[in-house]
Structure 1
Amino acid sequence: MEEKIKIPQYPPAKILKAVEKLRYFLIRISRKLAPANVNIMEMVQGFYVSRAIGLAVKLNISDYLHNGSKSISELALLTNCHEESLYRMMRMLASQGIYIEKKSRVFANNNLSRTMLDKDDTMHYMISHQVNGFNWSMYGELEYVIRTGENAFKKVSGMELFKFLEANPEKNDEYNKAMTNSSVMLGYAILSEYNFKNAKRVIDIGGGHGVLLSLILKKHKHLNGIVFDLPHVVNQANQIFIKFGIENRTEIISGNFFESVPSNADIYLLKSIIHNLTDIQAIELLKKIKSVLPVNGKILVFEPIIESNNGRYSFAKLFDVQMLVGTAGGKERTLDEYKDLFKKSEVKLKRVIPTAAPFSIIELT
């Protein structure tokens, strides 16, 4: 049954980028003023926070606080945890701006902790994917990765990521729920910056459960769409289309984009696909899409772009290490690296559009 879904309008990316620059300027000033030993100690302790966030998600603490504040004794009872230990973790998270300690030993949700609610439009499953289970185990093999150049996922699991997911339905479901969280976040950002009014049909290549496509079609009522992915991935897409009320305007096609891609669309979406691929694989895929792209068609690539100033913070530089650890040759790229990739793929770069998310819209023809 169709659900009532509201698509928010994010603030303009230019304003957010300006605020982000100011934020990191102040961080750099703070680090220059503080003793270096203090700075590095704070950085090293970052995993205390990430692991605690992961556990809070596992315990569904934000969901228990969704209808109002609760004492630590109530939370301990609901989560089957040791009260004093849980309090110390919650106190630490509140000190990081996650949850509010309204009065002594009583906690409530805030904007950050609400992103941990068990919902498609939060970061609940992405958080779990990042800091619980295999992803956490991979970082225990960082030295192996740096010394050998091989990825840690294969060492930990015995096979490459996508073969592992195909062979493990439960892990595949967890992974795709995390990608759904990511798609919702990015979908809101894309729709705040890009207009699909001149398109008629959109294909999401490697589109998972179809959430990104659903958001686009929900806002643009004139569009039809196709989600294209491996059979074990797209098997839940129709449930999503029904939820969004777009099932009559969508089609599900299963297949392997290394073998072929569907034709008859004027926009092809590639969200978080290129960064999983080596240059050779990315060129092969882009050429396949180009071969079926109509004269006025477009390819939209959604990826983080590494800034050329290596002294400046960027999400892309962080996530590039994730690709190093978890994939067989995947990576984030600089704009110059993308330009070289596109030239070899025989596609033309038209423009790069920043978004409120740490991803850019790269428009190709």
Structure 2
Amino acid sequence: MTDAQESWAEPESAKEGLAAHVRLAGAAGVGWSVMALAALAATGVVEVLARGRQPVDVLADRCGCDPGTLVRFLRAAAVTGAVVEVEPGVFEATELGRDTLPGAPGSAEGMLRLALTPEFLLPWSAAEQVLRTGRSGFEAVFGSRFYDYLDGRPELAGMFQEAMRTTSSAAALSTAFDFPAKATVVDVGGGQGAMLADLLARHRGLTGVLVDLPHVVEDARACLERAGVADRVSVVPGSFFDPLPAGADLYVLGRVLHNWPDADAVRILSCVRAAMPPAARLLIAEPMAYSDEGGCGAPPGHDLLMLVLLGGRTRTPEEMRALLRSAGLCEERISGHSGGESVVVARGC
């Protein structure tokens, strides 16, 4: 095993490790241990353990689980570090486990809920086809792209947006980039505005423009109002494959490009480039694959998740630079963040 592979299996801190595995890799990161944790969260087991250690029989009675099966799930989930067997048959939740509870800052609960849905599980049944064709397993099973499928399925779309809301890239962006005192930021493909709201809360001099598909941003105003930044944001329904609001100081792509194959990623970048004035900067925040340059390397399972679910990929810095060049953009710097994401700062060439 290489040093890079060891860093995927044993991150610098346990909390960052759970965040990387659950939020970035979903069902693919630490495999069935994450699925076991998802089931424990869904049945309320983690919530009970967060209040204190419990014997399996008592825990099973409280949560309506079969005791013999419950202990097997708990021991599998212990691989993630979210629960621990403090003595034979007695378990408690760790700080990591408490981070999966609804309402916890940066909670992974939304991603865990998604991990148990047929839409996240069934694409893996087409893994052989994905391997042979290089195309999305989701398309093979459901007959459409993931994002097209969400349109018209409000319950699943709501679950997905909630998961995205709790995994904002704002911390990575704020660490990697010195935001000016005043600037206009266009969040391209920004969902319901969670990341943009987080950025504007951190940087009071910023104003924002949120761009995403009409059915996605229709509830964005409520999200922005809850964050107290609605008066500083304009919501623009639209696709990032179409012309974008022009003339802003900063453009942001948060966890967008890795959802798409190279040709579509270049199309997105080209639309951003066309909107950027000469002095503007593009900030890209997403997990990136390990390279000899160092920085944060996303788990290999994350790359497969992007492929099987979305037809996308996790790119190395070299691959990211190639995309930028194809769209008339030049990288200024790429920096890693301890939360598992990298940030690319780019400008027009």
TM-score tier after normalising by the smaller chain length? 0.7 to 0.9
Residue 338 (structure 1) aligned with residue 320 (structure 2): yes
Which has the larger displacement, 213-222 or 273-282? 273-282
Letter in 1 for 2:237: S
Whole-angstrom CA distance in 2 between matches of 1:180 and 1:314: 23
User: Would the alpha carbon gap of residues 147 and 351 (structure 1) be closer, same or farther in structure 2, given more than 3 Å must change?
Assistant: same
Residue 227 (structure 1) aligned with residue 198 (structure 2): no
| 3-state SS, counterpart of residue 135 of structure 2 | coil
* Residue in structure 2 matched with residue 178 of structure 1 by the alignment: 163
Give the drift of 1:72. 3.3
User: Would the alpha carbon gap of residues 61 and 252 (structure 1) be closer, same or farther in structure 2, given more than 3 Å must change?
Assistant: farther
Cα deviations by residue, 1:135-194 (Å, 9 ceiling, x for unpaired)? 2221121111112333210122121111100021111111112222322xx322332333
User: Would the alpha carbon gap of residues 96 and 248 (structure 1) be closer, same or farther in structure 2, given more than 3 Å must change?
Assistant: closer
* Residue in structure 2 matched with residue 278 of structure 1 by the alignment: 261
User: Would the alpha carbon gap of residues 78 and 210 (structure 1) be closer, same or farther in structure 2, given more than 3 Å must change?
Assistant: farther
Letter in 2 for 1:363: V
Q: Percent identity?
A: 25
* Residue in structure 2 matched with residue 142 of structure 1 by the alignment: 127
User: Would the alpha carbon gap of residues 254 and 62 (structure 1) be closer, same or farther in structure 2, given more than 3 Å must change?
Assistant: same
Give the drift of 1:105. 4.2
User: Would the alpha carbon gap of residues 65 and 197 (structure 1) be closer, same or farther in structure 2, given more than 3 Å must change?
Assistant: farther
Q: Give the CA RMSD over aligned residues.
A: 2.9
Whole-angstrom CA distance in 2 between matches of 1:280 and 1:92: 39
Asked which structure has the greater CA Rg, the reply is 1
Cα deviations by residue, 1:238-272 (Å, 9 ceiling, x for unpaired)? 22212211121122211112122122421111011
One of 57, 71, 88 as aligned partner of 2:41: 57
Alignment of structure 1 residues 292-331 onto 2, 5 Å: 292-308=275-291, 314-315=297-298, 317-328=300-311, 330-331=312-313
Aligned 8 A contact 1:316 1:332 in 2: no
Which has the larger displacement, 315-324 or 216-225? 315-324
Aligned 8 A contact 2:38 2:113 in 1: yes
Aligned 8 A contact 1:152 1:325 in 2: yes
**Divergent runs of 4+, >6 A:** 19-22, 24-27
Whole-angstrom CA distance in 1 between matches of 2:70 and 2:225: 40
Letter in 1 for 2:241: F
* Residue in structure 2 matched with residue 212 of structure 1 by the alignment: 195
| 3-state SS, counterpart of residue 218 of structure 1 | helix
* Residue in structure 2 matched with residue 155 of structure 1 by the alignment: 140
Whole-angstrom CA distance in 2 between matches of 1:252 and 1:164: 23
Give the drift of 1:219. 1.0
Aligned 8 A contact 2:46 2:98 in 1: yes
Give the drift of 1:203. 1.2
Letter in 2 for 1:360: S
Whole-angstrom CA distance in 2 between matches of 1:211 and 1:26: 29
User: Would the alpha carbon gap of residues 239 and 70 (structure 1) be closer, same or farther in structure 2, given more than 3 Å must change?
Assistant: farther
Give the drift of 1:74. 4.2
Cα deviations by residue, 1:310-336 (Å, 9 ceiling, x for unpaired)? 9x99425332212221224x2222222
Q: What is the number of equivalent residue pairs in this alignment?
A: 326
Whole-angstrom CA distance in 1 between matches of 2:194 and 2:239: 19
User: Would the alpha carbon gap of residues 276 and 110 (structure 1) be closer, same or farther in structure 2, given more than 3 Å must change?
Assistant: same
User: Would the alpha carbon gap of residues 338 and 91 (structure 1) be closer, same or farther in structure 2, given more than 3 Å must change?
Assistant: closer
Whole-angstrom CA distance in 2 between matches of 1:254 and 1:61: 40
* Residue in structure 1 matched with residue 345 of structure 2 by the alignment: 363
Give the drift of 1:24. 6.6
User: Which 5+ residue runs of structure 2 have no aligned equivalent?
Assistant: 12-27
| 3-state SS, counterpart of residue 128 of structure 2 | helix
| 3-state SS, counterpart of residue 116 of structure 1 | coil
Which has the larger displacement, 101-110 or 50-59? 101-110
Aligned 8 A contact 2:179 2:203 in 1: yes
